[in-house]
Amino acid sequence: MKKKYQVVGIGNAMVDILSHVKDEFLAENGVEKGIMQLIDMQRAVELYDHMGPAQEISGGSAANTIAGIAALGGRTAYVGKVKDDQLGAIFAHDLRAQGAVYQTPFAPKIDSHETGRCMVLVTSDSERSLNTYLGVSESLGPDDIDTAMMAEAEWLYLEGYRFDGAKSKAAFAKAVTACKNAGGRVSLTLSDPFCVERHRDDFHEMISDHVDLLFCNVHEMQAMYPADSLEQSLKLAANEVEIVVCTASEDGAYILNGGGLEHAHAQPVDIVDATGAGDLFASGFLYGLTAGFDMLTCGRMGCIAAAEVISHIGARPETDLMELFREHGLV
Amino acid sequence: MKKKYQVVGIGNAMVDILSHVKDEFLAENGVEKGIMQLIDMQRAVELYDHMGPAQEISGGSAANTIAGIAALGGRTAYVGKVKDDQLGAIFAHDLRAQGAVYQTPFAPKIDSHETGRCMVLVTSDSERSLNTYLGVSESLGPDDIDTAMMAEAEWLYLEGYRFDGAKSKAAFAKAVTACKNAGGRVSLTLSDPFCVERHRDDFHEMISDHVDLLFCNVHEMQAMYPADSLEQSLKLAANEVEIVVCTASEDGAYILNGGGLEHAHAQPVDIVDATGAGDLFASGFLYGLTAGFDMLTCGRMGCIAAAEVISHIGARPETDLMELFREHGLV
């Protein structure tokens, strides 16, 4: 099938505010290291006041993934809500400038919330601790889902984080129905182990009923499918999903697709900022999948794209990913 | 003299929007390479629409200089106008988070202009081409000058670019008078050769009447004091100013201070983005000067700070400048 879009992503639209901090800063400011914490506006202001100089780069997990596929020349669209403010304009620009379609209506200026932002605190070990003020991205609902667009998607890519929104279940349901009715397929990323804890039942329902491809890392896998070993967890997942892809940092990625387990080795890299590793892995994998490559090649594409994005500050690719694929003999 | 501030800077407050582009992009979009062009809002929108994904980092020439001095632990303040909008909040945060005092009243939300921004287009040769929409920074006037703050400055640092503002001459005059009356001294950067062409007479008047320390690069020096050789230009400048400091890229910096010419050698570096080289040179030099170091050491501090800032994207320091000074045996 050749549809208008190879992948349509739905997620929390936001701009990342990146700053280098010391471990003590995390402790002093009650930030839990290495995970994503949701914060309200007051806390966002407080944390921002305390942190050092920063830089702003468009982010949002699924948006990063879509930007990565677009950077590879893939046909993509993204759905996620920003406001008609300066950060919203930056977010929209960066996605469109990368070649993705982005037409979610902006929340109006009168909305009391602003465009969402994520304070990304990078410590000297290159680990990132995410502090997310959802802002108007929280309000994405069924009305923002264009069923015609969903029907034009070969693959939907759903961001687990988005389950935090009040109207998100309904939005996802509408998108999934429209996509599947038109013969499309559905992928989901679990996003974060704590996100799994918050939405375990909703995730299970979505996964067993609709998801064809599940992305996660080993921590999320363990949270979603607790077992004595990763292999057992993978098998539990595979009972519910056709394709299970589990990233394992420097151990690369495991892919379970019906039959046997395949392993894509990681791309060695000097990590500068771990933000976006999983997002860009998904970019590489989904690009490969929709371009007709075998699972192992898809996995390697994911690993190479992930390595690129963690070699610099920010969760969007800065170098030519296709050129990297060429250098590694994948294309 | 030990005043509240070692350096108070006055300049165009803005956020940089940085993107990598090909040389063809500059040609196709009528951007002149390597210089700063002033653009209006319409042109800013048009150029932004055309350019690729970007990242936002607080900038503004004098603000970069002040941020650099603050990063070194120097006592600094900055005067430059932003609006009460998201980019304005980012600019203010980044300066304060670096340790500088920033209390210029924000232009109100009803102002039809926004916070100024500079589209920094970085080509593969690491050269940067600046496209500046001044926004509300244009409106800085005498009312924004706090004479008590100026009287508390050991050194004023005036940004040549700011001469582009309609009320800037009056603002500078007010600041200079308050500073000098209290025994402070005045430094000026010529900013850009085209800026020199635009404001030659105003520059001459300011320099001969008030400036004690002049910063420029060889192109600006040649524009301001045309002569057959750099040495001759330096001498022409030295007739008007006590201290002349002229940067010369990989040739380091020349310092003329009353008597003989001194030369500070450049710090070798792999250039990633040339933005802010001159700004951070001034940071290092002014820090050294106000901390009581000799001219040659000040020059080396300037060269090392400049090398740091061009080794990465963005015009604000990302590593510990004092640590670099230590490594080079300067402190």
pLDDT tens digits along B171-224: 999 999 999 999 999 999 999 999 999 999 999 999 999 999 999 999 999 999
For A36-88, the DSSP string reads EEE--HHHHHHHHHHS---EEEE--HHHHHHHHHHHTT--EEEE---BSSHHH
Q: For residues B224 and B190, what is the distance between their CA atoms, to the nearest angstrom?
A: 8
pLDDT recorded at residue A165: 84
> Which residue's structure tokens are 């006592």?
B75
pLDDT recorded at residue B109: 86
**Has residue A1 got a pLDDT over 70?**
no
Radius of gyration of chain B (CA): 18
What is the distance in angstroms between the Cα of A329 and the nearest Cα belonging to chain B? Answer: 25
Q: Which two tokens stand for residue B204?
A: 């001459």
Mean pLDDT score across all residues of chain A: 96
**Whole-prediction pTM:** 0.95
Contact A129, A121 (CB under 8 A): yes
Q: For residues A229 and A222, what is the distance between their CA atoms, to the nearest angstrom?
A: 9
Interface test with B, best of A48, A55, A117 (most B CBs within 10 A): A55
Q: For residues B247 and B249, what is the distance between their CA atoms, to the nearest angstrom?
A: 6
What is the distance in angstroms between the Cα of B103 and the nearest Cα belonging to chain A? Answer: 15
Strands (E), B164-312: 185-189, 213-217, 243-247, 253-257, 261-264
Residue of chain A nearest B51, judged by CA positions = A97
pLDDT tens digits along B221-249: 999 999 999 999 999 999 999 999 999 99
- Cβ–Cβ gap A55/B57 under 8 Å: yes
pLDDT recorded at residue B260: 84
Mean pLDDT of B269-279: 95
pLDDT recorded at residue A42: 94
Q: To the nearest whole percent, how much of chain B has pLDDT over 90? A: 94
**Cβ-Cβ contacts under 8 Å, B58 against chain A:** 53
- Cβ–Cβ gap A97/B55 under 8 Å: no
Mean pLDDT score across all residues of chain B: 96
pLDDT tens digits along B42-82: 999 999 999 999 999 999 999 999 999 999 999 999 999 99
pLDDT recorded at residue A218: 97
**Cβ-Cβ contacts under 8 Å, A315 against chain B:** none
**Cβ-Cβ contacts under 8 Å, A98 against chain B:** 52-53
**Cβ-Cβ contacts under 8 Å, A49 against chain B:** 93
pLDDT recorded at residue B232: 94
Residue of chain B nearest A86, judged by CA positions = B86
Question: In this structure, what CATH number is given to the domain that contains residue B144?
Answer: 3.40.1190.20
Interface test with B, best of A90, A96, A102, A121 (most B CBs within 10 A): A90
pLDDT tens digits along A173-187: 999 999 999 999 999
**Cβ-Cβ contacts under 8 Å, B97 against chain A:** 51-54
For A108-127, the DSSP string reads PTTSSS--EEEEEEE-TTS-
Q: For residues B6 and A135, what is the distance between their CA atoms, to the nearest angstrom?
A: 40
Q: For residues A93 and A119, what is the distance between their CA atoms, to the nearest angstrom?
A: 20
3-state secondary structure of B106: coil
pLDDT recorded at residue A258: 81
Q: Are strands A101-102 and A5-10 parallel, antiparallel or unpaired?
A: unpaired
Q: For residues B222 and B236, what is the distance between their CA atoms, to the nearest angstrom?
A: 11
pLDDT recorded at residue A322: 98
Q: Which of B53, B87, B98 is closest, CB to CB, to A316?
A: B53
Q: Which of A20, A98, A115 is closest, CB to CB, to B53?
A: A98
pLDDT recorded at residue A164: 85
Interface test with A, best of B90, B109, B111, B121 (most A CBs within 10 A): B90
Q: Are strands A243-247 and A253-257 parallel, antiparallel or unpaired?
A: antiparallel
Q: For residues A101 and A10, what is the distance between their CA atoms, to the nearest angstrom?
A: 12
Q: Which two tokens stand for residue B102?
A: 């920033």
Residue of chain B nearest A117, judged by CA positions = B86
Q: Which of B53, B86, B115 is closest, CB to CB, to A94?
A: B53
> Count of A–B CB contacts within 8 Å?
58
pLDDT recorded at residue B110: 87
**Has residue A2 got a pLDDT over 90?**
no
For A217-270, the DSSP string reads EHHHHHHHS--SSHHHHHHHHHTT-SEEEEE-GGG-EEEEESSSEEEEPPPP--
Range of the domain at A45: 5-327
What is the distance in angstroms between the Cα of B250 and the nearest Cα belonging to chain A? Answer: 26
pLDDT recorded at residue A111: 85
* Higher pLDDT, residue A169 or B155: B155
Q: To the nearest whole percent, how much of chain A has pLDDT over 70? A: 100
Number of domains in chain B: 1
Sign of CA dihedral B264, B267, B268, B271: negative
- Cβ–Cβ gap A98/B57 under 8 Å: no
Q: For residues B17 and A208, what is the distance between their CA atoms, to the nearest angstrom?
A: 44
Task: Kindly state the DSSP code that residue A144 receives in the 8-state scheme.
Answer: G
Sign of CA dihedral A313, A316, A322, A326: positive
pLDDT recorded at residue B1: 58
Q: Which of A53, A87, A97 is closest, CB to CB, to B53?
A: A97
Q: For residues A76 and A78, what is the distance between their CA atoms, to the nearest angstrom?
A: 7
**Cβ-Cβ contacts under 8 Å, B49 against chain A:** 93
- Cβ–Cβ gap A55/B56 under 8 Å: yes
Residue B236 CB coordination number (10 Å): 15
Position B257 confidence tier, pLDDT thresholds 50, 70, 90: very high
**Cβ-Cβ contacts under 8 Å, B56 against chain A:** 55-57, 90
